[in-house]
Chain A
Amino acid sequence: NAGVTQTPKFQVLKTGQSMTLQCAQDMNHNSMYWYRQDPGMGLRLIYYSASEGTTDKGEVPNGYNVSRLNKREFSLRLESAAPSQTSVYFCASSARAGNQPQHFGDGTRLSIL
């Protein structure tokens, strides 16, 4: 009963390094999302994929890229990490985009030094 699985759970990077955050869901959901959560700011959408083969920008896409590898997997890449990208990153999925509840992973805590 895994749901949404994110790897890694924790990571420390140096400024300028690159990294890919992995996300996989086993609920046969069509839509997947990446959020970041910063203190006092709630969750903000970085990118989402309404269906396999499509990706769209969210509220805060700058500095990130995504790949919807297949229906199960949606990865988030930081090409050149900056201290402002220190955050907790959550992946989510839903049966379809719109008024369907999203199911979240447990997050990746990322620190950029």
Chain B
Amino acid sequence: DQQVKQNSPSLSVQEGRISILNCDYTNSMFDYFLWYKKYPAEGPTFLISISSIKDKNEDGRFTVFLNKSAKHLSLHIVPSQPGDSAVYFCAALSANFGNEKLTFGTGTRLTIIP
């Protein structure tokens, strides 16, 4: 039972354009969401997070949007740069319900085309 789903295994975007990565979840108890970026042969690196009390969080070129009614979140990268080429993981947890364990999606491989 995949509680966090990233339905697009891969995405290609032209340099300078917007990259939009999507994530859906099924567990209504999730109240905190994170995005991680992973390069080959390295560990995941934290990018940005959002609490369920918000619907948007922005950090430089990265913005995460949360739609609780649709159980959907997305990561927007504007403008996309070659260094953004990596695998992106969405993750979720239920901080307020005592579930301290992160549940990860399966990842989306983003390729930025120069």
Question: A33, A98, A107: which has the most chain B beta carbons within 10 Å?
Answer: A98
B23-47 interface code vs A (CB 8 A; 1 in, 0 out): 0000000001010100001111110
A77 at the interface (CB under 8 A from B): no
User: Are A43 and B44 neighbours in the complex by a CB distance under 8 Å?
Assistant: yes
User: Are A99 and B43 neighbours in the complex by a CB distance under 8 Å?
Assistant: no
Which of under 10, 10 to 19, 20 to 34, or 35 or more describes the interface residues of B? 20 to 34
For chains A and B in complex, what number of residue pairs have CB atoms within 8 angstroms?
A: 55
Say yes or no: A40-B106 contact (C-beta < 8 A), given A50-B100, A98-B100. Answer: yes
Cross-chain contact of A106 among B41, B51, B93 (Cβ < 8 A): B41
Question: A44, A45, A97, A99: which has the most chain B beta carbons within 10 Å?
Answer: A99
User: Are B93 and A99 neighbours in the complex by a CB distance under 8 Å?
Assistant: yes
Residues of B close to A42: CB separation below 8 A: 4, 89, 104-107
Say yes or no: A43-B89 contact (C-beta < 8 A), given A101-B34, A101-B49. Answer: yes
Which of under 10, 10 to 19, 20 to 34, or 35 or more describes the interface residues of A? 20 to 34
Q: Closest approach, in angstroms, between the C-beta of B57 and any C-beta of chain A?
A: 13
Main secondary structure of the interface of B (DSSP, over half): strand
Cross-chain contact of B44 among A44, A48, A104 (Cβ < 8 A): A104
Within 8 A of B (CB), among A86-105: 90, 92, 97-99, 101-105
User: Are A107 and B32 neighbours in the complex by a CB distance under 8 Å?
Assistant: no
Residues of B close to A40: CB separation below 8 A: 106
B13 at the interface (CB under 8 A from A): no
Residues of B close to A45: CB separation below 8 A: 101-102
Chain B interface (Cβ < 8 Å from any Cβ of A):
4, 32, 34, 36, 41-46, 49, 51, 89, 93, 95, 100-107
Other contacts beyond A101-B46, A106-B41: 14, CB < 8 A: A31-B100, A42-B89, A42-B106, A43-B44, A90-B44, A97-B100, A98-B93, A98-B100, A99-B51, A102-B46, A104-B43, A104-B44, A105-B43, A107-B41
